[in-house]
Chain A
Amino acid sequence: MPPTENTPAIEFKDVEKRFGTTTVLKNLNFTISPGERVTLIGPSGSGKTTILRLIMTLEELTGGYIFIDGQPLTHTERNGKRVELPSKTTRAMTTRIGMVFQQFNLFPNMTVLENIIEAPIHVLKKSKDQAVSDARELLAKVGLAEKADEHPSRLSGGQQQRVAIARALAMSPEILLLDEVTSALDPELVGDVLSVLRTIAETTDITMLLVTHEMQFAREVSDRVMMFDGGQVLEEGPPSQIFSSPRHDRTRSFLSSVQ
């Protein structure tokens, strides 16, 4: 199916995720529109991070289907049976998706610049000159132009996270997944990272899916907030509605516990 204007950027269809005998997600269905900014909130263990990890193929999908731009990500239905796609097909799909992690996960054996150009050169097959000039431009955008030749260990947590954001953007993703990207940072470093993300939200049309405890930030950048509980969408709506007048008691008590 060719993507049309109505094709969701992300679609979950009957998604199930089990870890051993524990079912984390069951019969989960939702769609995210292209360019939409969606914040997932909910108590820990509600499955929000698992959702991001399933989209990034870091976890095995134990049931159901995920579609990116209408195309199957890891599994497809063939003759009524659920079959796994070849890893190359899946990897071609994941090039459209970028992810930033709580723990940054920069490659410590490479410089900041090498971290950023690695995938553009080897996955997107960019020339080295092109990759380097694009990387420098991105580093300038996140305010770290002068750190290009440092190793990550020489950078503060906030700086490392901004490099990680630049590294994800260097792949020109259509979808950006942000998994508690400020949770591991000292409070005074959170602001820089959030302002970089705010700029991305304002200046690009990247679809963003974020798990965060920064409710003020979520309120500013999201088009929609989804409240998860027990692996299900408890309620969803524009941030103004969810934060000001949630329908469910569970949402109300969760919000009062984090704010």
Chain B
Amino acid sequence: MIWNWEFAAEALPLLLRGFGNTLIATVAGTVIAAILGLVIAVAIRGLPRSVNWIVRLLQAFIRNTPLVVQLLFIYYLFAGIPGLVDVPALVIGIIVIGVHYATYMSESYRAGIDAVPQGQREAAIALSLPPVRTFRDVILPQALRATIPSLGNYAVAMFKDTPFLFAISVIELVTTAQQFGAAKFAYTEAFTLAGLIFLAASYPTSLLIQRLERRLATY
């Protein structure tokens, strides 16, 4: 194996700059996915049957098509709409990746909400608590306890999906490595470092999620 420390030293700052976009996309995407996922879960539960099939259909559609296709579709769709041409690719990427993962997270929320025992709702009715208050103070906190670990796992998965943003020309970590490798013919250095950066970020995150999981397991 050929390893050139000089190339490695040269690549690192560039890679870290690319990693900035990866981080921004992951954090912003997670925020969108976590909020929208909850909205979707509540909408499917709360909306009358006559409308909630539309939400279900959209959810199934997004979950069953590849992220890359969605990225390209929205990217070129925006490019064709006069007012939206100037939306930065990174913003489009964050929205698409956030919506994509929201459809997965909504299922986790739904499972968490369903897992709250029926007796909790009955106790809330016996106290005459209005439905919104019941959801906010009783159902949601208990549902989140079951949901947060899997939201964390989706956040890590999203983090590892950010290289797809390359498809819409967002220069993130992997793309930076690709470009550097091509320019200097130093693929080994570039991709080894890229992999290590991913590992350095996602391993502590998953440990953090595990700790959170344990803390949430005890009231």
**Partner-contacting stretch, out of B17-25, B41-49, B85-93, B137-145:** B137-145
**Partner-contacting stretch, out of B75-83, B121-129, B175-183:** B121-129
**CA–CA, A97 and B123, complex, Å:** 12
CB-based nearest A residue for B130: A91
* Contact pick for B127, options A108, A109, A151, A171, CB 8 Å: A171
**Given A109-B145, A118-B127, A118-B129, CB of A101 within 8 Å of CB of B122:** yes
Q: Contact between B137 and A108 (Cβ–Cβ < 8 Å)?
A: no
**Given A91-B130, A105-B119, A107-B120, CB of A56 within 8 Å of CB of B219:** no
CB-based nearest B residue for A164: B123
Chain A residues with Cβ below 8 Å from B126 are: 56, 58, 94, 97-99, 101, 168
CB-based nearest A residue for B119: A105
Q: Which of B105-133 contact A (CB under 8 A)?
A: 117, 119-120, 122-123, 125-130, 133
Q: Contact between A103 and B119 (Cβ–Cβ < 8 Å)?
A: yes
**Given A101-B122, A101-B123, A103-B119, CB of A109 within 8 Å of CB of B219:** yes
Chain B residues with Cβ below 8 Å from A57 are: 125
CB-based nearest B residue for A152: B219
Pick the most buried of B119, B125, B126, B138: most chain A CB atoms within 10 A of its CB: B126
Q: Contact between A119 and B128 (Cβ–Cβ < 8 Å)?
A: yes
Chain B residues with Cβ below 8 Å from A94 are: 125-126, 128
**CA–CA, A171 and B125, complex, Å:** 13
CB-based nearest A residue for B142: A109
Q: Contact between A109 and B141 (Cβ–Cβ < 8 Å)?
A: yes
| Residue A62 lies at the interface, judged by CB distance under 8 Å to chain B | no
* Contact pick for A105, options B123, B129, B142, B219, CB 8 Å: B123
Pick the most buried of A56, A103, A118, A151: most chain B CB atoms within 10 A of its CB: A118
**CA–CA, A109 and B218, complex, Å:** 10
* Contact pick for A123, options B123, B129, B142, B219, CB 8 Å: B129
**Given A118-B137, A153-B219, CB of A106 within 8 Å of CB of B129:** no
| Residue A224 lies at the interface, judged by CB distance under 8 Å to chain B | no
**Given A108-B142, A109-B145, A153-B219, CB of A91 within 8 Å of CB of B123:** no
**CA–CA, A203 and B13, complex, Å:** 77
Chain B residues with Cβ below 8 Å from A122 are: 129-130, 133, 137
Give how many A residues have a beta carbon under 8 Å from the other chain's beta carbons.
Answer: 28
From residue B215, how far is it (CB to closest CB) to chain A in Å? 13
**CA–CA, A167 and B142, complex, Å:** 19
**CA–CA, A116 and B120, complex, Å:** 14
Q: Contact between A107 and B138 (Cβ–Cβ < 8 Å)?
A: yes
| Residue A95 lies at the interface, judged by CB distance under 8 Å to chain B | yes
Q: Contact between A151 and B129 (Cβ–Cβ < 8 Å)?
A: no
* Contact pick for A91, options B122, B128, B137, B141, CB 8 Å: B128
Contact bitstring A86-123, B, C-beta under 8 A = 1, else 0: 00000110110111010101111110000000110011
From residue B40, how far is it (CB to closest CB) to chain A in Å? 23
Q: Contact between B141 and A58 (Cβ–Cβ < 8 Å)?
A: no
From residue B146, how far is it (CB to closest CB) to chain A in Å? 12
Chain A residues with Cβ below 8 Å from B142 are: 107-109
Pick the most buried of A56, A91, A119, A123: most chain B CB atoms within 10 A of its CB: A119
From residue A147, how far is it (CB to closest CB) to chain B in Å? 14
**CA–CA, A142 and B148, complex, Å:** 36
Q: Contact between A119 and B125 (Cβ–Cβ < 8 Å)?
A: no
**Given A101-B122, A108-B219, CB of A119 within 8 Å of CB of B129:** yes
Q: What would 20 more interface pairs be, CB under 8 Å, given A56-B126, A123-B129, A171-B127? A: A92-B128, A94-B126, A94-B128, A95-B128, A97-B126, A99-B126, A101-B119, A105-B119, A105-B123, A107-B142, A108-B142, A108-B219, A118-B137, A119-B128, A119-B129, A123-B127, A123-B130, A152-B219, A153-B219, A168-B126
Give residues in A with beta carbon < 8 Å to B. 56-58, 91-92, 94-95, 97-99, 101, 103, 105-110, 118-119, 122-123, 151-153, 167-168, 171
A-B contacts, 13 listed (Cβ < 8 Å):
A92-B128, A95-B128, A103-B119, A105-B117, A105-B119, A105-B120, A107-B120, A109-B219, A119-B127, A119-B128, A122-B129, A151-B219, A167-B127
